[in-house]
Amino acid sequence: MSKIKFRLENWGKTVLFQVIEMDERFRAERDKKNIFHSECGLVVGSFDAPGFDFDDNNLLYLRGYLKKCDDNVCVKIFYCEKDAKDYCLKIICALRDWAENWEGWEENEADTKEPRENVYEF
Torsion angle, CA of 79/82/86/89, rounded to 10 degrees? 120
What is this structure's pTM?
Answer: 0.83
**Choice between 111 and 70, residue whose per-residue pLDDT is larger:** 70
3-class secondary structure, 60 = strand
Which of the 8 DSSP states describes residue 114? P
Secondary structure of 62-107 in HEC code, one letter for each residue: ECCCCHHHCCCCEEEECCCHHHHHHHHHHHHHHHHHHHHHCCCCCC
From residue 9, alpha-carbon distances to 16, 51, 92, 105, 106 in Å are: 5, 14, 11, 27, 30
* pLDDT of amino acid 112: 41
pLDDT band at 114 (very low <50, low <70, confident <90, very high): low
In the chain, how long is the greatest CA-to-CA distance? 41
* pLDDT of amino acid 108: 39
